[in-house]
Structure 1
């Protein structure tokens, strides 16, 4: 839940959901955030399966990576969070 509780990560998910796949520079430009912070957030979201990249981690250095939201995973995570807040799990 800590990963989802971070406002920057929620904003990344929102931007990807609303605007479709975005490159890393488009994401940090949209958020007005530093590149390194944005990458750290994207990696955390990717570890949970909430976002996917068009390049595997070992091939990203020096490449323009495009990110997309995994809508099914975001929806399932949101439902789990609501269940937790309602004391259902």
Structure 2
């Protein structure tokens, strides 16, 4: 493509980095999908539904929570030995999805 005609990419900000890390990972997409069709799920329920190892699930849940697409009913410091329930933050997932579509279609960020 002629560089003069190439659409300018938006600034690669923290949302774009989150999009890359979330939507570019099958396990994270599976976790979001499972939570999207459920009200809330425990760690054990998620592990069973998604079918990944504990250490892998823990890492993905921590990342998804940091990116703001899932929420836990207990803060990190109060989770030891307790049943944490996770839920999706639908508005955040939708906002990131819309930003991703604008990027792919070469539209300016709004």
| TM-score bin, normalised by smaller chain | over 0.9
Structure showing greater radius of gyration is 2
Contiguous gaps of at least 5 residues in structure 2? 1-18
Displacement over 6 Å in runs of 4+: none
Q: State the secondary structure of the residue aligned to 2:21.
A: coil
Cα offsets for 1:4-33 (capped at 9, x unmatched): 111100110000011221001100110111
Cα offsets for 1:17-53 (capped at 9, x unmatched): 1122100110011011111111111111100110000
**1:65 is aligned to 2:84:** yes
d(CA) in 2 for partners of 1:64 and 1:25?
9
d(CA) in 2 for partners of 1:2 and 1:78?
11
Could you say what the CA RMSD is over the residues aligned between the two structures, in angstroms?
1.0
Using the size of structure 1 for normalisation, the TM-score is 0.94
Using the size of structure 2 for normalisation, the TM-score is 0.77
**1:24 is aligned to 2:43:** yes
